Amino acid sequence: MWTATGSMSTARYYHTATSLLNGQVLVVSGVSPELYDPATGVWTATGSMNIGRDDHTATLLPGGQALAAGGFDHNGDVTAELYDPATGMWTGTGSMASGRTRQTATLLLNGQVLVAGSNADPGSAEIYDPASGSWMHTKNLSPLALFSYGDITAQRQRACLRRRSIRPVWRPYALATLQISAISP
């Protein structure tokens, strides 16, 4: 059952919603993010970003900060920012090697963030290290499992499988497992 709640001050699209450790939800699109408090149903403004973003990723880091990376324009933005819920402020952090929009971001068990794919360079991948605030390039994605909007691109998969004369079998969980192990630095 759905229940109505408070309204955002600004309509948003191509945004992210990240659950913070304090229970609030950080919603980012443009330069003016908002926080949603599910306990009260109230939206409040928080610190402005240095660069407006949409089509980006936002990842909660183990220390409680949120990493917003890429997005903004068709070719992708190389910048990233950290949100500190304690202060409500955004600070710049290291820049990625490739501009990215519509990429995926995955928090790894070691606390680093794997960012993969983009409109401009769908096969590329980088890893963000929160301890150093820096990015490092990692192996590119294999042609079998390029990502688009977080899903495996079926057309590319079928083309690769036809060249190998293998009948396609749709098992994204198997491909995702294979892919993660294939791009480790």
**In the chain, domain spans:** 1-104
pLDDT confidence of residue 123: 82
pLDDT confidence of residue 76: 64
pLDDT in tens, 98-113: 888 888 999 999 999 9
Query: What average pLDDT is seen over the chain?
Result: 79
Long-range CB pairs of 16-22 (<8 Å, 24+ gap) are 16/56, 16/57, 16/58, 16/68, 17/58, 18/58, 18/59, 18/60, 18/66, 19/60, 20/60, 20/64, 20/66, 20/85, 21/60, 21/64, 21/85, 22/64, 22/85
pLDDT confidence of residue 166: 35
Which pTM was predicted?
0.76
